[in-house]
Each structure stands twice: as C-alpha cells, then as structure tokens.
Amino acid sequence: MKRAVFPGSFDPLTLGHKDIIDRALPLFDEIIIAIGINSSKQYMFSLEQRISFIKETFKSNDKIKVETYQGLTIAYCQKVKSDFILRGLRNPADFEFEKAIAHTNRKMSEIETVFLLTSADTSYISSSIVRDILKNKGDVSRFVPKAVIQ
C-alpha cells in the first residue's frame, strides 16, 4: 500500500493545503494528514478544532486519515509504515527550507519526500496570513475551506 504522511500545523487548514491533498490523492492509496504537536508553539486554533476542520473538509474521502504526532516526522512515518512525506512548495523560500529538511530526513531514513508545486491560484495563501486576517476580524472565506468558516 502506498501511504504518504502530509505533516504540518494546519493552523488553520487553507485552500492551499487542500489543493496539495486533492492533487496527491491519485498518487497514493492513503494520505495521513498528520498534525505535529509542538509544545513550545502557540496556536490560534485548538488541536480539536484543527482536526475537525480537516475531518469535515475530507469527510467524503476514505483515503484520507487525520492523526496527530509528536517528535520527529520520520519516526512517525516509520511508526505508521509510510515511505513518503508529502510537502507543498509555494516559492523559492519554501524550496530552500524544505530541501534541507528532505536531505536530512533522507540521510536519517529511507523515507522519500514528494513535493508538489502549488496551483497558481492558491500559492500565495498561508495559514499565518489567514490568522492575521482573522485577528483583525476580516473575511477569510476565499482562502479556507467552508469547514473553517463555520
């Protein structure tokens, strides 16, 4: 079974994340959307809220699972028997950052990182900009799935 882990904070899930997940679906038998728990990070949405945004958005797709993990992403991949990490690339800054992590993960394990380039119409979306708009009581409906707005 070809299984991929899509790790991230998803604080909150955006249409950019959704684009990557939708486009990765034909490539894998199962995609685990894995919310990394970092106790030193402050989140806008609780873990329960972030899980429920993802579950609600992908409720009609049984190839997608939502889980949480702590520690190294490669250790988590080994635990759930996933040979692939899925990541999205928006711009050169993402590429430089992701390249170092992917090389490091590859040195430490057999796990391959699969990158998908974001679609042009969602490549500018980021969870941090969505959080800024929300803090200032703006409308984020063009940037996040319906489940997040409700």
Residues within the interface to ligand ADP (CB under 6 A) = 8-10, 14, 16-17, 19-20, 87-88, 90, 94, 118, 122-123, 125-127
Strand order in the sheet with 112-117: 64-69, 30-36, 3-8, 84-89, 112-117
d(CA 70, CA 84): 18
Amino acid identity of residue 126, one-letter, is S
Q: Is 23 a catalytic residue?
A: no
Closer residue to ligand ADP (CB): 20 or 51:
20
Helix (H/G/I), strand (E/B), else coil: 106:
helix
Out of 50, 82, 87, 127, the active site residue is 127
User: Looking at beta carbons only, is 83 or 98 nearer to ligand ADP?
Assistant: 98
Query: Using CA atoms, how far apart are residues 134 and 20, in angstroms rounded to an integer?
Result: 23
In the complex with ligand ADP, the residue whose CB is nearer, 57 or 127, is 127
Tell me whether residue 41 is one of the annotated catalytic residues: yes
Query: Rounded to whole angstroms, how far apart are CA atoms 30 and 19?
Result: 16
- The strand pair at 84-89 and 64-69 is best described as unpaired
Of the listed 23, 55, 65, 90, which one is catalytic? 90
Catalytic residue chosen out of the listed positions 41, 81, 107, 142: 41
Residue nearest to ligand ADP (CB): 16
Confirm whether 146 is a catalytic residue: no
What residues act catalytically?
Answer: 17, 41, 90, 127
